[in-house]
């Protein structure tokens, strides 16, 4: 069961320049699909087309067993059962937060009451906002209410267009966890538009990348991240993204040990639950290389790997070293001089050294 489409959208923008979106894709009908790309690439236009807000598209859109749009038929937005969180908060200005949310609850089918308003209020931390009008709320608070309203409409598909743009950093991280939890607990598939690679790494299961109105990547996230060509084009700073399992905690030193396909790492977080799954990201510049496993060093993490390829970097002082630890791919950014001193070549076995403080989770 999936969301699939093949359509073209052509229109003139505010500057009267023609914009074209060519969409031909199939993505999972569950989990979280991140739609990633720079501003103006077509992310919002794609979301609006799926929502039924761009009637002029030429082609078709299908969701699971339903056909939403063809050249001969059009299912209006309210019948697609979509929840939409816009970049702008889009609340009814004359209604309180509670009334905005009740409006969505009253419009959903009476037989479908699977979502509990109180649990959503609690997860989003908006209990204290119930009696306030939108003009009494900050931009971030308005967005939280808008998200609650979209979720409580009990949608079959939730569309989110850069929902964190008006939130501060601490609220952003909390809300990302909440969005992931909503997907897992209530099984609502989510299409999540962003231009932030950190948000993609935090919550996405599947990745769709748009450049200049064309979908250039459409793959499971970890598959896309292990392809060096895609990785290098989209986020050249990333050295690795790893899915791992927490196997040990060291409260004395504030560390947790995680295992992944290729080895183990110690990360600077003693609050991770043993047995839980975590996603780690490492920058290419935080990976150094040695021929032997160094013991007289402050660096705790050493992972054995094979050099796959050596590539030129945009900075002529550096080279990119592509490595593989079993099935896990890494990229290290090393000075050209270091490459020459070590005599690095494809096929060699080396040890990667990664500081615990350099691993984000």
User: In the predicted model, is pLDDT for residue 112 greater than 70?
Assistant: no
| Cα gap 119→109, rounded to integer Å | 19
Mean pLDDT confidence for 172-189:
85
| Cα gap 5→14, rounded to integer Å | 27
Task: Provide the pLDDT for residue 143.
Answer: 85
Closest CA to 349 of 283, 286, 292, 297: 292
Identify any residues that bridge with 67 across adjacent strands, giving them in sequence order.
62
Identify any residues that bridge with 258 across adjacent strands, giving them in sequence order.
246, 265
| Cα gap 13→30, rounded to integer Å | 33
Is 316 in contact with 228 (CB distance < 8 Å)?
A: no
Of the listed ranges 90-99, 174-183, 212-221, the least confidently predicted one is 174-183
| Cα gap 220→204, rounded to integer Å | 9
Task: Provide the pLDDT for residue 271.
Answer: 87
Of the listed ranges 50-54, 60-64, 228-232, 273-277, the least confidently predicted one is 228-232
User: In the predicted model, is pLDDT for residue 165 greater than 90?
Assistant: no
Task: Provide the pLDDT for residue 7.
Answer: 95
Mean pLDDT confidence for 58-65:
94
Sign of the alpha-carbon torsion through 284, 288, 292, 294: negative
| Cα gap 36→34, rounded to integer Å | 6
User: In the predicted model, is pLDDT for residue 229 greater than 60?
Assistant: no
User: In the predicted model, is pLDDT for residue 26 greater than 70?
Assistant: yes
Mean pLDDT confidence for 164-189:
82
Of the listed ranges 124-128, 158-162, 251-255, the least confidently predicted one is 124-128
User: In the predicted model, is pLDDT for residue 170 greater than 80?
Assistant: no
Task: Provide the pLDDT for residue 108.
Answer: 67
Task: Provide the pLDDT for residue 89.
Answer: 67
Mean pLDDT confidence for 280-298:
93
Categorize the per-residue pLDDT at 111 as very low, low, confident or very high, splitting at 50, 70 and 90.
very low
Per-residue tokens: 282: 């490492």
Task: Provide the pLDDT for residue 270.
Answer: 86
- End-to-end Cα spacing for the chain: 31
Per-residue tokens: 12: 């003139």
Q: From residue 305, how far is each of 178, 242, 258, 281, 287 by CA, in Å?
A: 36, 14, 17, 17, 12
User: In the predicted model, is pLDDT for residue 125 greater than 70?
Assistant: yes
Closest CA to 153 of 208, 105, 114: 105
CB-based burial label for 34 (10 Å; 0-12, 13-18, 19+): buried
Mean residue pLDDT across the chain: 88
User: Looking at per-residue confidence, does 247 or 101 come out higher?
Assistant: 247
Task: Provide the pLDDT for residue 126.
Answer: 87
HSE on the CB side for 283, CA within 13 Å?
9
pTM of the model: 0.84
Residue 340 contacts by C-beta under 8 Å, 6 or more apart in sequence?
A: none
Closest CA to 80 of 181, 155, 24: 155
Task: Provide the pLDDT for residue 118.
Answer: 81
Mean pLDDT confidence for 186-214:
91
Task: Provide the pLDDT for residue 225.
Answer: 81
User: In the predicted model, is pLDDT for residue 230 greater than 60?
Assistant: no
The residue to which tokens 């690679």 are assigned: 197
User: In the predicted model, is pLDDT for residue 14 greater than 70?
Assistant: no
Domains parsed from the chain with CATH numbers = 2-232 (3.40.50.300), 237-360 (2.40.50.100)
Categorize the per-residue pLDDT at 232 as very low, low, confident or very high, splitting at 50, 70 and 90.
low
| Cα gap 305→326, rounded to integer Å | 7
Is 223 in contact with 50 (CB distance < 8 Å)?
A: no
């Amino acid at each position: 069961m999936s969301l699939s489409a093949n359509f073209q959208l052509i229109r003139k923008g505010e500057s009267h320049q023609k914009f074209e979106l060519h969409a031909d894709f199939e993505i999972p009908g569950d989990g979280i699909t991140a739609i990633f790309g720079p501003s103006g690439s077509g992310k919002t236009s794609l979301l609006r087309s799926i929502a039924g807000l761009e009637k002029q598209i030429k082609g078709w859109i299908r969701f699971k067993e339903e056909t939403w749009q063809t050249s001969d038929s059009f299912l209006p937005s309210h019948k697609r059962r979509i929840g939409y969180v816009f970049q702008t908060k889009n609340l009814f200005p004359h209604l309180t937060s509670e009334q905005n949310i009740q409006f969505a609850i009253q419009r959903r089918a009476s037989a479908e009451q699977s979502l509990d308003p109180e649990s959503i209020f609690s997860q989003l931390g908006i209990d204290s906002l119930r009696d306030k009008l939108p003009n009494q709320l900050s931009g971030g608070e308005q967005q939280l209410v808008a998200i609650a309203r979209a979720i409580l409409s009990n949608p079959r598909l939730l569309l989110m267009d850069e929902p964190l743009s008006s939130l501060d950093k601490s609220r952003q991280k909390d809300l990302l966890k909440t969005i992931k939890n909503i997907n897992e607990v209530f099984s609502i598939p989510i299409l999540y538009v962003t231009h932030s690679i950190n948000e993609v790494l935090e919550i996405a299961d599947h990745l769709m990348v748009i450049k200049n109105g064309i979908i250039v990547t459409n793959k499971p996230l970890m598959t896309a991240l292990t392809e060096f060509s895609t990785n290098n084009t989209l986020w050249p700073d990333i050295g690795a993204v790893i899915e791992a399992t927490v196997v040990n905690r060291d409260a004395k030193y504030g560390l947790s040990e995680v295992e992944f396909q290729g080895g183990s790492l110690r990360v600077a977080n003693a609050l991770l639950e043993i047995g839980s799954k975590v996603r780690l990201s490492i920058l290419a510049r935080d990976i150094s290389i040695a021929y032997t496993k160094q013991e007289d060093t402050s660096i705790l993490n050493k992972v054995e790997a094979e050099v796959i390829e050596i590539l030129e970097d945009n900075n002529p002082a550096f080279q990119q070293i592509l490595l593989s630890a079993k099935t896990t791919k890494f990229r290290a950014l090393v000075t050209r001089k270091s490459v020459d001193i070590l005599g690095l070549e494809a096929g060699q076995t080396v040890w990667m050294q990664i500081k615990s403080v350099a691993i984000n989770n």
